[in-house]
Amino acid sequence: MGWLPMRPKSKNNKTLTAILLIAPFVLCYLVVFAYPVYKMFAMSFTDAPLIGEGDWVGLENYVRMFQHKLFYTSVYNTLYFVGLTVVPNTLIGLGIAMMIVRLNGMVQAGILILFFMPYILPVTVVTQIWQWVLDQQFGVAQPLIEAVTGKRISVFRDPLWAMPMVALVTIWWTNGFNVLLFISALRNIPQDYYEAASLDGASRFQQFRRITWPLLWPVTALVLTLQLILQLKIFDQIYLMTQGGPFNSTYVLLQLVYREAFGRNQGGYASAVAVALFVLIVIVSVLQYQLLKARGKS
């Protein structure tokens, strides 16, 4: 029975080891995320500048925000951009992945690299490439635009074209990551399912509907959720391509935060707008999760 006193000691060692392993993550989480979020909420109730303390003003910043016409414009443009990118980006990624997965060897690797390469480019390079491609005078895409509309268009200076073009650039830039996720999921589907379905006379569409799509749904839900969160935080492409113009047609919430914080040194008001964006992301993400969860059970 001499071994019995050792059990609590072993349990204590495991607990200590677990604490030591998770401590770095918890520390990073508190420093990088939890504390800044707390400061953001706290500053939103003050008239603080970007750096420094301010006086308590209660809900004044939020009242001002809801009276600010540009805030509503920014919310609309942000949601408009989400609508232009999230679902199309996911469906295009799925379609490309289903084509690539049918290839073999070096051909498959080469085409996969071709689609994934834009994803590793920095946003400055991406925007410069597309500004050249869509340049009104010399852009290689202008003949196509002229064939459709009858004239050359400066797309980033046209309120009708600016946001769709930014969405197009974003899809081209980020789609490679979605393709990789879908290819990984497709490769994990056993081929026996398709062989059995073929023996039963199922068409390719029936195989996709009854086998591929249900088994891909968890990855599809993941891609949709990631895309939703990322696109709600759109800023870089807008700032570099349109600066929110023309006529505020591409002005988004993060740009409003940037202007108020760094342009006008109004940290309190910028924090209130950031809180609104935070709440919007949480609400939309939860709603989407519930819809995807209900779709997965149906």
pLDDT by position in tens, the chain (length 298):
445 454 555 667 788 888 888 989 889 989 888 898 899 999 999 999 988 888 999 899 999 999 999 999 999 999 999 999 999 999 999 999 999 988 888 888 888 888 899 999 999 999 999 999 999 988 899 999 999 888 999 999 999 999 999 999 999 999 999 999 999 999 898 888 888 888 888 888 888 888 888 899 889 988 998 999 999 999 999 999 999 989 999 999 999 999 999 999 999 999 999 999 999 998 988 888 788 777 666 5
How far is 84 from 168, CA to CA, in rounded Å? 8
Q: What token pair was written down for 259?
A: 């202007």
CA 250/CA 192 separation, integer angstroms: 49
Give me the sign of the Cα torsion angle 8, 14, 19, 20.
positive
- CB-count exposure of residue 292 (10 Å: 0-12, 13-18, 19+): middle
